[in-house]
Chains A and B, each alone.
Chain A
């Protein structure tokens, strides 16, 4: 929306501004923010490109070329972390898109208890991730946990959510979705309510079914919301650390390690160069997922 507003202001800008008017918006207003951002975010990011090529003790850096990266792609547990990061990002993002859209459609339809439902779906977004992680670690305990106790009531045996190496990453991803789906829902609700009702009325006259309404009207018009949900949840999912750390610390073994937890483990172990190489790997990973995706989304925008 704001993009449209700015665009409409644009022609005004072309008239030559007097020096007096310019000085009302001085460039030094950027300076305090730029100093903090530059010193504590930008400079470390650029420095990481160098330190990732070194064996580093914080006092002394010894240049070793691409050894850290070679190690990253050679050690099985580091490769596992890389694969897990991608799986985790894609799974959580996909589930948030599907569930968020369904919940938004449900919560904008004419049902009872809408206000209450919106509130409970959204509240976990604001709760501490570590608190949520610890709570679900207890609920997902294989023999004492509430979830498997409930499954046992039906005479079934629940799985070892956080102890089964094949399942553990998906269990954490499920908790991530539980906590984050409220934000996706919120964005989709904003998208749904902005669809003009005229379209549905016209479709009704043409005799469209509600299924056709969804595929031909709702889904295409929710595209901006979908783009936002995918981008936000991928950025968050690929960088995810605190939930995994609170629930499994990357275990059992290193079956639920992601790049962000590998970075922390290498940092704790004092391998600062390797840890920094992990940061660069994560940066590149996020960039090669997000940049082509947003270029593709934008090019589709222009075609339409």
Chain B
């Protein structure tokens, strides 16, 4: 491609991207710092004053600090869910890759089923009630683990295939049992894929709206995504506060993206190639 075309095509793409992708985010930021009256016009004008702190404090104080509760709940859900997903997913991926047996094809079938089948909502609630886990954080964590396992196992299995078996054999000859082999030899070698799984699943669980809506009702159980939904009716005339809340839930993925861009890209394309 010649030099002029390089600048012209690139220039057009950049201008288009500003309108299509940047304006919506700029709109969120501008609206979130306006007064309620300015925001009500829903226009793209600059605010007279940037009321960032005022609006932020107002959102935080709404409904007895609901956002704070939600942030704590979302953090617990994400951290606990991802921890379990990593350990349990890696254990399955490890045995699945290392030791083919009659079980292997069955396990593979269930992994695919987990990726494709939409979860049966009401029967799941029924099971959770039977286990006394409905409307509890424990139950919600286990749900996120159940739904996220398939994708995690695929990523781990693909990566473990690249680790030479000779390492296992050396450890076995040195007298390591299965627990020692897995937790002390294999798991540390999985660092690149661990980061990928942690980052991708954290974003997925933090952004999950549907499952907490079904399985974790109740205002003391609210998560960040559900605050948005709660505020949508309450802030009907206060777009500035609604958009401040949108800004709040956009910041964690933005931070993750800035620091872990490479791992996210690796995880999504690797997982995708497996289909």
- Interfacial residues, chain A to chain B (CB-CB below 8 A): 1-3, 5-6, 9, 12-13, 17, 20-27, 29-30, 32-33, 36-37, 39-45, 47-48, 51, 56, 58, 106, 109-114, 116-117, 119-124, 126-131, 134-136, 138-139, 141, 144-146, 149, 178, 183, 186-187, 190, 224, 227-229, 231-232, 235, 239, 241-242, 246, 260, 263-264, 267, 272, 275-276, 279-280, 282-283, 286-287, 290, 294
Contacts and interface: CB of A to CB of B under 8 A. Distances in A.
Interface in B190-216: 203, 207, 209-210, 213-214
B188 interface: no
Interface of A, secondary structure class, is: helix
A122 B257 CA distance: 10
B134 to A, nearest CB: 10
Given A39-B127, A117-B13, A44 B119 contact: yes
Contacts, number: 275
What are the nearest 9 A-B pairs in CB distance?
Answer: A48-B120, A111-B10, A112-B10, A2-B158, A44-B123, A25-B99, A40-B146, A126-B253, A44-B124
B161 A145 contact: no
Contacts of A178: 20
A267 B6 contact: no
Given A23-B178, A111-B10, A272 B269 contact: no
Interface of B: 1, 6-7, 9-11, 13-14, 17, 20-24, 27-28, 31, 41-44, 84, 88-89, 91-92, 94-101, 103, 107, 110, 113-129, 131, 142-143, 145-147, 149, 153, 157-159, 161-162, 165, 168-169, 172, 176-178, 181-182, 203, 207, 209-210, 213-214, 224-225, 228-229, 232, 239, 242-243, 246, 249-250, 253-254, 256-257, 261, 264-265, 268-270, 272-275
B7 A112 contact: yes
Given A47-B127, A48-B123, A41 B114 contact: yes
Contact of A187 (B91, B122, B269): B269
Given A39-B131, A44-B127, A126-B257, A131 B250 contact: yes
Contact of A29 (B94, B127, B261, B268): B94
A25 B92 contact: no
Given A12-B165, A47-B120, A130 B228 contact: yes
Contact of A5 (B113, B162, B257): B162
Interface of B, secondary structure class, is: helix
B120 A232 contact: no
B22 A33 contact: no
A111 B6 contact: yes
A169 to B, nearest CB: 19
Nearest to B153: A33
Nearest to A282: B118
B161 A5 contact: yes
Contacts of B158: 1-2
Contacts of B264: 126
A79 B149 CA distance: 33
Contacts of B101: 27
Contacts of B272: 183, 187, 190, 228-229, 232
A36 B165 CA distance: 29
A158 B239 CA distance: 22
Contacts of B224: 128
Contact of B118 (A117, A138, A242, A283): A283
Given A48-B120, A106-B9, A260-B118, A26 B95 contact: yes
Contacts of A51: 122-123, 126
A42 B21 CA distance: 40
Contacts of A186: 265, 268-269
A37 B149 contact: yes
B9 A109 contact: yes
Given A12-B165, A24-B178, A32-B91, A58 B24 contact: no
Nearest to A5: B161
Contacts of A30: 91-92, 95-96, 103, 107
B66 to A, nearest CB: 15
Given A128-B207, A144-B41, A40 B127 contact: yes
A256 to B, nearest CB: 17
A27 B95 contact: yes
A139 B243 CA distance: 12
